[in-house]
Amino acid sequence: MRSFSAAGDILEAMRKLFFPILIAMNILVFCSCSGNAQSAAEAFAPAEISADLGTCSALIAVTGVDSKPIYAAKVNTRIKYGLFGAKKLDLEAYTAVDGKVKITNLPEVLKRPMYIYISKGEKEEIVEFKPNVHCNAIFNVQLR
């Protein structure tokens, strides 16, 4: 009988000791998180898709007429490469919460410009990307 009482005493002592420590740890975690006052747009990295063909990249930032970022805008392109552009690679991605998508590892040299199509609903814009002119390009696209 005494063993049951001892076990109960141990559990009671553990509860008295660890409960305040657990509360203190939760408060510390909460305080450290609230100290980093970042907006939701800063907390997310842009969506990214890789072509695995080179070192160039294109960052597309999509906004609406009100200059607010557009979430889930469709970004697609076709890359023609190889001898006489015989090889083709279709890429498609959607913008993140911040309205951005990054296409990485694009080829440094293309025979013809690459066109990037951005659309959301009925709105569509086209961007021309020339890696031999500007290898790491940034495009600010406003859908109308």
> Would the pLDDT of 35 be above 80?
no
Same domain, 32 and 94: no
How many C-beta atoms lie closer than 10 Å to residue 57's C-beta? Answer: 19
Q: Are residues 55 and 105 in the same domain?
A: yes
pTM: 0.68
| Co-location of 73 and 90 in the same domain | yes
Task: Give 86-132 pLDDT, tens digit per residue.
Answer: 899 999 999 999 999 999 999 999 888 899 999 999 999 999 999 99
Structure tokens at 123: 């709105």
Q: Is residue 9 domain-shared with residue 50, that is, in the same domain?
A: no
Once rounded to an integer, what is the mean pLDDT over residues 18-40?
55
Asked if residues 104 and 49 have their Cβ atoms less than 8 Å apart, the reply is yes
Q: Are the CB atoms for 104 and 57 separated by under 8 Å?
A: yes
In a shared domain, residues 63 and 128: yes
